[in-house]
Structure 1
Amino acid sequence: MNGEPTTDTFTIEPPGERLLDGRKALVTGADSGIGQGIAYRLAAHGAAVAINHLDDSTTADAMAEEIRDAGGRAVSVRMDVTREDQVQRAFARAAEEFDGLDLLVNNAGIERPFRLVDMELEWWRKVIDVNLTGTFLCSREAARTMLDRGSRGAIINISSVHEEIPWKEFSHYCASKGGQRMFTRSIARELAPHGIRVLAVAPGAIATSINEDVLADPRRREAVEEEIPLGRWGAVSDVAGVVAFLASDRAEYIVGSTVFVDGGMMLYPKFV
């Protein structure tokens, strides 16, 4: 299940193929796009999943019900990741529901183009607040929960190729992702001795609704594809599969790294 609208029935992987049996996860921004695909993939691999939404709970509630109907564990949790009080309540609820928490995926993020000279302070602050401050608040609460319970676990931050690649008219977004990169590495050093791994996944061009205007324009779509050595846009499932692997014990020696899921975009000559 790739997280895009589908008529397929959600199923949980057979016992021998599950990577995350017994894990207890919270995914921010989990009711659409990449976050939705990640939530479904974690649940398919046996994790209990708290599905974060902002205001309208319709999609998150339906996702949780679908996962429960298939034999999994899931709950929807309302949370604005920029609000400390809401973050604390949401994590407390998830930990109470699942009797702990040992996996956080910081996926919530926003973007909107502005030339530097036209950028409003409100939008600079909004992007930094959601993408960077939200990552801080949720990571702090996840770490507190894991440390209090003596849980080994993982925090996975969904970054972007733009933690490395400059992007004109998105300086606020690039600043947030560059900051997220150093935040990831710094807290990874701090938490690894406690058995909590922190790392990042950086998608490239992924076919989601946020890119629908580009995808609908053959010329613009092809221009992006020319920057991808693999020659295609990524799917949500490409990212979700990597997150599930990195969250599992199979990746237990990966700490503080950013894994790029970009079809080779970072290798494109103008980016290196």
Structure 2
Amino acid sequence: MLLENKVMLITGASKGIGRGIAVGAAKHGAKIGINYAGDDAAAAATVAEIKAAGGEAFALKGDVSDPQSAKDFIQAGVDHFGKIDSFVSNAGICPFHAFLDMPQEVLERTLRVNLHGAWYMSQAAANQMVKQGHGGTLIAVSSISALVGGEFQTHYTPTKAGVLSLMQSTAIALGKHGIRCNALLPGTILTDINKDDLADDAKRQYMESRTCLGRLGQPEDMAGPAVFLASDLAGYVTGASLLVDGGLFVNLQ
């Protein structure tokens, strides 16, 4: 119960990595707030799963690219639980597309959701933590794509590099307030964002073979690292980045 009596809010948490972190953190005693963009049924199912296990949770629909959504989500967390201890910026999109003919709207939407959304949400959460006066933790879900390129991700990889940089800079800006800021860099995790890309059995098998552990990640694999960074066990960890990729990044040969 590493997060007992802690409150954690997570964006993009009705499915995938966000849901994995939400459920995992709840199992460690955290009270959970979920932001989601569209799937009401999935958000309700995540809340129901947490409550069925004896936890507390709520869900609030909102587009992270809208600055007002950040304020609304943070206020909802305070209204439900009285405080915020940990904030996880996870919401993101990756509409795979070639570089040379990428429409402007695809680029700009990806930037607004992945980077602007992380910035707005992190700022709103940090302001609440400063107001509370007892510190807190910001965790951003970046990606291995912050460190390597992707042919059909020229719009996506810069946002994930930006999210990593955001946590490094906020660690400096917020350390004096006792707020720790860190990034998680997942490798290939099986979620809705890449299900079409990995529907090709040959590509999936190739990606599995690239990892040291011989398998792709599951959303649940992200829970432990997030819980650690949010817990007092990581009390001297800030400005850090943690690869959660099954050894994909180091497996050059």
| TM class by smaller structure | over 0.9
1:87 to 70, 86, 98: 70
Counterpart for residue 138 of structure 2: 155
**Aligned counterparts of 2:77 and 2:131: Cα–Cα separation in 1:** 15
**Aligned counterparts of 1:202 and 1:96: Cα–Cα separation in 2:** 31
With a CA cutoff of 8 Å and minimum separation of 6, indicate the structure with the bigger relative contact order: 2
Mapping of 1:6-155 within 5 angstroms?
A: 18-155=1-138
Q: Is the aligned partner of 1:194 residue 2:177?
A: yes
**Aligned counterparts of 2:100 and 2:199: Cα–Cα separation in 1:** 29
Shift of 1:120: 0.9
Shift of 1:162: 0.5
Shift of 1:215: 4.1
1:230 to 189, 213, 232: 213
Counterpart for residue 208 of structure 1: 191
Which TM-score applies when normalising by structure 1? Answer: 0.89
Q: Is the aligned partner of 1:249 residue 2:249?
A: no
Shift of 1:66: 3.1
Shift of 1:178: 1.0
Which TM-score applies when normalising by structure 2? Answer: 0.95
> In angstroms, what is the RMSD of aligned CA positions?
1.4
**AA matched with 1:221:** R
User: Contact 2:14 / 2:39 at 8 angstroms: preserved in 1?
Assistant: no
Shift of 1:79: 1.6
Identify if the C-alpha distance between structure 1 residues 184 and 233 changes in structure 2 by more than 3 Å, giving closer, same or farther.
same
User: Contact 1:57 / 1:76 at 8 angstroms: preserved in 2?
Assistant: no
**AA matched with 2:161:** G
Q: Is the aligned partner of 1:261 residue 2:237?
A: no
User: How many percent identity over aligned positions?
Assistant: 38
| Contiguous gaps of at least 5 residues in structure 2 | none
**AA matched with 1:57:** D
User: Contact 2:93 / 2:193 at 8 angstroms: preserved in 1?
Assistant: no
Q: Is the aligned partner of 1:239 residue 2:222?
A: yes
Shift of 1:38: 0.6
Deviation by residue 1:4-49 (Cα, 9 ceiling, x = unmatched): xxxxxxxxxxxxxx01001111110000011111111111110110
User: Contact 1:28 / 1:105 at 8 angstroms: preserved in 2?
Assistant: yes
Q: Secondary structure of 1:136's partner?
A: helix
**AA matched with 1:204:** G
Structure 1 stretch 131-140 or stretch 77-86: which is displaced more? Answer: 77-86
Deviation by residue 1:156-201 (Cα, 9 ceiling, x = unmatched): 0001000001111211101101111111100111111211100000
Count of residue pairs the alignment pairs up: 253
Structure 1 stretch 107-116 or stretch 53-62: which is displaced more? Answer: 53-62
Deviation by residue 1:110-144 (Cα, 9 ceiling, x = unmatched): 00122221111111111111110000000000001
**Aligned counterparts of 2:9 and 2:68: Cα–Cα separation in 1:** 17
**Aligned counterparts of 1:219 and 1:70: Cα–Cα separation in 2:** 38
Counterpart for residue 218 of structure 1: 201
**Aligned counterparts of 1:163 and 1:184: Cα–Cα separation in 2:** 13
Q: Secondary structure of 2:196's partner?
A: helix
Structure 1 stretch 20-29 or stretch 86-95: which is displaced more? Answer: 86-95
Identify if the C-alpha distance between structure 1 residues 172 and 215 changes in structure 2 by more than 3 Å, giving closer, same or farther.
closer
**Aligned counterparts of 1:136 and 1:148: Cα–Cα separation in 2:** 18
Shift of 1:214: 4.5
**Aligned counterparts of 2:245 and 2:221: Cα–Cα separation in 1:** 9
**Aligned counterparts of 1:231 and 1:62: Cα–Cα separation in 2:** 31
User: After TM superposition, what 4+ stretches of structure 1 lie above 4 angstroms from structure 2?
Assistant: none
